[in-house]
Chains A and B, each alone.
Chain A
């Protein structure tokens, strides 16, 4: 140190520059932006709810939408809707993500060369009118829409001499045609599942698809519950593969694919006997018997005969014919056969009603085949596509894409890119149903209104398709009477309205508020079977020969036919059957795989005469050994960032063929060969133990015969040792087992003093009602801002869903008819009284509140993860990589619930019993003169969504509350409690089986 700077000088300079630097403390301050003119119906911080109808699928469930400051943040079921009665499925919840999906078009798109550029609406609508006027020969290809929109499309198309074709990827056309053939009725039948004593599903996956998954789910739960007389409805599933619906059955008869008609008629012949019932089909019945049925189905004759006898004698019963996953070449006949079975058993007018005219997706694939031919032959000038995506959802063998290209001018109304829109010349992005008007008629006598719950999301310059059609029509000189779709719809309703119904405006407002109006419909007298007017073959249909395994292509419970694939919530929702996320899988029976030397995770090439795909294998005991299954909805190429590259398109393996006489797409058409490619992959599943409880008391069951004769309480739990509340680790003896014992004497000090006056929150989940549909999983994710982590993270076991549905196989046999026992258990944070997670947190970020909730304080958590390590239920999830910044692009963050903290990385989280809802109700009660909280007023998101009404939340300290009454059941137990003494606040009610369950010990 000679001529260099002296140390003291250096430090002085450092100090000055340091001080100077701190003056730079200001950055852009946070702003408060007021309204320019405050809307009357919005109070900042208070939610405004709107009633509408979910347009996700054809079920059209009633919906209540929670909006905050003009943004929809949560969708829930509408309890006043006569069909769905408050439930909502996962797909319904995910429609909210589609509203804010960043992949939506930002405006009309106009093709220039091989790219699409954004244009203005003026430009786009002018082009539309000009092209229709110049070229003509319009073909309007559309999916299912409400009655008013359907009416408008008809008028539009008629005025310009065009044609209209309807196409939905997943359709109930065979059932529709069967109802017409058998009873002359123009609509789908309605099923009263809840009142059936014996329910047979011939491959009908009514919880996942069909005319109302939510209503049928509710019905199944109702039917399965033990009634006051101590009896319980029985559910038998007949089919080659157990879907989510099938997993809930009490018996599984694994009949060969395509043999439903033989079995139904074989059974009907037993019930009809010599009485000559079944009217015009009496002759047909004479050639069927349990023996012929057994031969066709590959199961024992005795099983069929015995089932038939029960079906005929129990009362009432119900049989449902094959749905979209089982549409083979004789699907209509199979449904007719099931109708005959219902008829001879006396179910018509009791559990099945043919005059209900249920409207649902029932379009004929055959019509699309004609449309494709017409396009290929150059007969179509302007092709318009609305609400459907045939370029994806028709098998490649159909040649849709090539034919579509032949149309001179192609228009799409898609609101986000999809495979069909990618081929279009003009895209006129439609509004999302949450931003638009519409109506729906789920069945005759029920009319529901769909209203916009917020202004159109400003990022996306969209227009309601109805408005566009009206404007185009006017441009072309055909005035359809209204300038906007809203006016058109109201005019239509006004026409149908007559003075006896009261004032129209009053009725309209009431309908908007309540969601649906129901009026009496006179029952028609047609309950007699009619002779068929078309040829029907009840034989097991032939399959295209591609190998030795029958391919079962079925709609996905998460994606339907593929419409929902671009939702990260649904991609990350573990499939209810396989618990797999993000990628496709081929279901294969374990024995079959073993014989071929295939292990789970092996990637195999599945080849049919029509195509081949590479997909990993998943071993599943719930599928016949001669079949493999692949779900629809994967393999998108042009649908958005979450759908693309995710999975494989099962339709590539199918022929382009329509079933006769319904015209439905044939999904059960071919056999395939399966050859290992030599590659493997890790399956992105959240399941650890492959459906095995490993002898732990996780999901016990009780036999129906044992109810009411519960053994005297098995060995007492010993002295209850519960940890003292706030950090004193002295175990205090209690009075054995009762949940209301918490907090114990000695645990009351400081803020926990006097805590016997405050509520103690607890929950009860009835496993006899839970169907494993997983609606609660998505509802929780939507309510609590739970992030999605992506496939790679799931493979590493870092899933973040707060609820998971465990699925345990206790009895499952794919080779013969027999009892089925698969247990579904929604596992959430158990809010243990003796929580193992609480004492191990070094910073006291998790602790037990005086109200009995295990609280997680996000800002205090430092990410030690010891709590998750200690949790025996493994319900704590850790945020590793934040997942809530660029993973949630604008405007998807508009969906976030403002009442729940959005967590950053390094923080543990878990079910909070919807603390924000508890607080909201407490606040409201305090404001209303300090009244007490009413039972049932706090409804966590999972309970609200459950179609089966399996979840109950409430104050267990109040003996009159519903939860107290439910947990007083003899079926009540708590998971792992007897071996770990965790004292959970979440109680489960054992599933009730018909077969014997080993008592004592752990089953």
Chain B
């Protein structure tokens, strides 16, 4: 009984440390001129505003910014100058303070330190151009990005809980080989496997 205050105290310290870490981890999402935004990204870039097809949204093609997807293993992310190319004249109506951050990066000749959302492990080599060439839509793997304001990884440890309790579809199969193999194994209209499941196709 006497020692419960000690145990409780230690538990409290750990919990506080844990919370501090979370806060710290969140704020490590990059520093813009005024600090990171809630999503952890340096600028609150809304994919839906740029790529969405709702009225008032800009309906841009994915490959306008992610330009190397059809030529390269890498999809590429837009250079700061690509953003600035439009935003030099477009202050934006929803979040002009976020748009203004771009100017800061251009002037400081500093790349925007985006937090990476979609990643496949280094021991697998994923060629974007082969998949685009095969007719896949970006959304098939990356989800309905054009409807998302904030991109989220789906392979966090709490994703199964979200699926189970809230019925949310995972955005992206993530670092999960099964996701890739499932599609590769699918038979095409001739009943043949539509893509190779030879290990060495991706792992070399």
**Is A16 part of the contact surface with B, judged by Cβ < 8 Å?**
yes
**Is B68 part of the contact surface with A, judged by Cβ < 8 Å?**
yes
Interface string of B48-89 (1 = CB under 8 A from A): 000000000000000000001001111011111110000000
What is the CB-to-nearest-CB distance from B180 to chain A, in angstroms, rounded to a whole number?
A: 14
CA distance A17 to B8 in the complex (A): 10
| Complex contacts, A978 vs chain B, CB 8 Å | none
CB–CB B18/A20 < 8 A: yes
CB–CB B111/A24 < 8 A: no
Interface centre among A29, A899, A900 (most CB of B within 10 A): A29
What is the chain B residue whose CB lies nearest that of A901? Answer: B123
Q: Which of B92-100, B161-169, B194-202 contacts A (4 or more CB under 8 A)?
A: B194-202
What is the CB-to-nearest-CB distance from B29 to chain A, in angstroms, rounded to a whole number?
A: 7
**Is B122 part of the contact surface with A, judged by Cβ < 8 Å?**
yes
Q: Which residues of B from 95 to 130 have beta carbons under 8 Å from A?
A: 105-106, 109-116, 119, 121-125, 127-130
CB–CB A34/B112 < 8 A: yes
B: contact size bracket: 35 or more
**Is A13 part of the contact surface with B, judged by Cβ < 8 Å?**
yes
Q: Which of A9, A17, A900 meets B15, CB within 8 Å?
A: A17
CB–CB B130/A926 < 8 A: yes
CB–CB A38/B81 < 8 A: yes
**Is B22 part of the contact surface with A, judged by Cβ < 8 Å?**
yes
CB–CB A45/B204 < 8 A: no
**Is A30 part of the contact surface with B, judged by Cβ < 8 Å?**
yes
CA distance A761 to B109 in the complex (A): 48
Q: Which of A23, A44, A858, A900 meets B68, CB within 8 Å?
A: A44
CB–CB B2/A24 < 8 A: no
Q: Which of B17, B81, B199, B200 meets A24, CB within 8 Å?
A: B17
CB–CB A17/B11 < 8 A: yes
Interface string of A901-913 (1 = CB under 8 A from B): 1100000000010
Q: Which of A13, A21, A33, A926 meets B111, CB within 8 Å?
A: A33
**Is A919 part of the contact surface with B, judged by Cβ < 8 Å?**
yes
**Is B179 part of the contact surface with A, judged by Cβ < 8 Å?**
no
CA distance A306 to B141 in the complex (A): 76
CB–CB B129/A923 < 8 A: yes
CB–CB A32/B116 < 8 A: yes
Q: Which of B21, B22, B81, B201 meets A36, CB within 8 Å?
A: B81
Q: Which of B80, B106, B114, B198 meets A849, CB within 8 Å?
A: B198
| Complex contacts, A45 vs chain B, CB 8 Å | 68, 72-74, 76, 128
CB–CB A3/B25 < 8 A: no
Q: Which of A44, A751, A847, A860 meets B197, CB within 8 Å?
A: A751
Interface string of B1-21 (1 = CB under 8 A from A): 111100110110011011101
CB–CB A34/B77 < 8 A: yes
CB–CB B72/A43 < 8 A: yes
| Complex contacts, A3 vs chain B, CB 8 Å | 1-2
| Complex contacts, A26 vs chain B, CB 8 Å | 21-22, 24-26, 28
**Is B133 part of the contact surface with A, judged by Cβ < 8 Å?**
yes
**Is B32 part of the contact surface with A, judged by Cβ < 8 Å?**
no
| Complex contacts, B133 vs chain A, CB 8 Å | 926-927
What is the chain A residue whose CB lies nearest that of B42? Answer: A31
What is the chain B residue whose CB lies nearest that of A755? Answer: B198
| Complex contacts, A31 vs chain B, CB 8 Å | 30, 113-116
What is the chain B residue whose CB lies nearest that of A850? Answer: B198
What is the chain B residue whose CB lies nearest that of A37? Answer: B81
Known: A5-B3, A859-B203. Contact between A34 and B111, CB under 8 A? Answer: yes
CB–CB B114/A4 < 8 A: no
Known: A33-B111, A926-B133, A927-B133. Contact between A9 and B4, CB under 8 A? Answer: yes
| Complex contacts, B2 vs chain A, CB 8 Å | 3
| Complex contacts, B22 vs chain A, CB 8 Å | 23-24, 26
**Is A498 part of the contact surface with B, judged by Cβ < 8 Å?**
no
CA distance A3 to B4 in the complex (A): 11
Known: A23-B19, A24-B18, A899-B125. Contact between A849 and B200, CB under 8 A? Answer: yes
CA distance A26 to B19 in the complex (A): 11
CB–CB A38/B82 < 8 A: yes
CB–CB B72/A34 < 8 A: no
CA distance A30 to B113 in the complex (A): 9
**Is B40 part of the contact surface with A, judged by Cβ < 8 Å?**
yes
Q: Which residues of A from 267 to 309 have beta carbons under 8 Å from B?
A: none
What is the CB-to-nearest-CB distance from B43 to chain A, in angstroms, rounded to a whole number?
A: 12
CA distance A43 to B128 in the complex (A): 13
What is the CB-to-nearest-CB distance from B183 to chain A, in angstroms, rounded to a whole number?
A: 14
**Is B139 part of the contact surface with A, judged by Cβ < 8 Å?**
no
Q: Which of B18, B19, B80, B157 meets A37, CB within 8 Å?
A: B80
| Complex contacts, A5 vs chain B, CB 8 Å | 3-4, 7
CB–CB A36/B106 < 8 A: yes
CB–CB A847/B199 < 8 A: yes
What is the chain B residue whose CB lies nearest that of A845? Answer: B199
**Is A871 part of the contact surface with B, judged by Cβ < 8 Å?**
no
CA distance A847 to B200 in the complex (A): 9
Q: Which of B25, B80, B119, B204 meets A27, CB within 8 Å?
A: B25
| Complex contacts, A715 vs chain B, CB 8 Å | none
CB–CB B18/A857 < 8 A: no
Known: A24-B22, A855-B204. Contact between A36 and B109, CB under 8 A? Answer: yes
**Is A35 part of the contact surface with B, judged by Cβ < 8 Å?**
yes
CB–CB A915/B3 < 8 A: no
| Complex contacts, A923 vs chain B, CB 8 Å | 73, 127, 129-130
CB–CB B193/A36 < 8 A: no
Interface string of B174-204 (1 = CB under 8 A from A): 0000000000000000001100111111011
**Is A916 part of the contact surface with B, judged by Cβ < 8 Å?**
yes
What is the CB-to-nearest-CB distance from B4 to chain A, in angstroms, rounded to a whole number?
A: 7
| Complex contacts, B19 vs chain A, CB 8 Å | 20, 23
CA distance A29 to B27 in the complex (A): 11
**Is A853 part of the contact surface with B, judged by Cβ < 8 Å?**
yes
CB–CB A43/B71 < 8 A: yes
CA distance A44 to B79 in the complex (A): 11
| Complex contacts, B198 vs chain A, CB 8 Å | 751, 849-851, 855
Q: Which residues of A from 814 to 861 have beta carbons under 8 Å from B?
A: 847, 849-851, 853, 855, 857-860
**Is A46 part of the contact surface with B, judged by Cβ < 8 Å?**
yes
CB–CB B196/A751 < 8 A: yes
**Is A708 part of the contact surface with B, judged by Cβ < 8 Å?**
no
CB–CB B200/A855 < 8 A: yes
CA distance A23 to B128 in the complex (A): 34
| Complex contacts, B3 vs chain A, CB 8 Å | 4-5
**Is A885 part of the contact surface with B, judged by Cβ < 8 Å?**
no
Known: A859-B121, A901-B122, A926-B130. Contact between A36 and B203, CB under 8 A? Answer: no
What is the CB-to-nearest-CB distance from B74 to chain A, in angstroms, rounded to a whole number?
A: 3
Interface centre among A9, A26, A847, A923 (most CB of B within 10 A): A26
| Complex contacts, B71 vs chain A, CB 8 Å | 43, 46, 927
Known: A45-B72, A849-B198, A923-B130. Contact between A34 and B79, CB under 8 A? Answer: yes
Known: A31-B113, A32-B116. Contact between A901 and B204, CB under 8 A? Answer: yes
Other than A4-B3, A900-B204, give 15 A-B pairs with Cβ distance below 8 A: A5-B4, A20-B18, A20-B19, A26-B22, A28-B28, A31-B30, A32-B77, A32-B115, A32-B116, A44-B76, A850-B198, A859-B203, A901-B203, A919-B125, A919-B204
Interface positions of A (Cβ within 8 A of B): 3-5, 9-10, 13, 16-17, 20-38, 43-46, 751, 754, 847, 849-851, 853, 855, 857-860, 899-902, 912, 915-916, 919, 923, 926-927
Ordered by A's residue number, 30 sampled pairs between the chains whose C-beta atoms are within 8 Å are: A9-B7, A10-B7, A13-B8, A13-B10, A16-B15, A17-B10, A20-B19, A21-B18, A23-B18, A23-B19, A24-B21, A26-B26, A29-B116, A31-B113, A32-B77, A33-B111, A33-B113, A35-B79, A35-B80, A36-B81, A36-B106, A847-B199, A858-B123, A859-B203, A860-B203, A901-B122, A916-B125, A916-B204, A923-B127, A927-B71
Q: What are the 8 A-B residue pairs with the smallest beta carbon separation, nearest first?
A: A26-B25, A45-B74, A45-B72, A855-B200, A24-B21, A915-B204, A20-B15, A38-B79
Interface positions of B (Cβ within 8 A of A): 1-4, 7-8, 10-11, 14-15, 17-19, 21-22, 24-26, 28-30, 40, 68, 71-74, 76-82, 105-106, 109-116, 119, 121-125, 127-130, 133, 157, 192-193, 196-201, 203-204
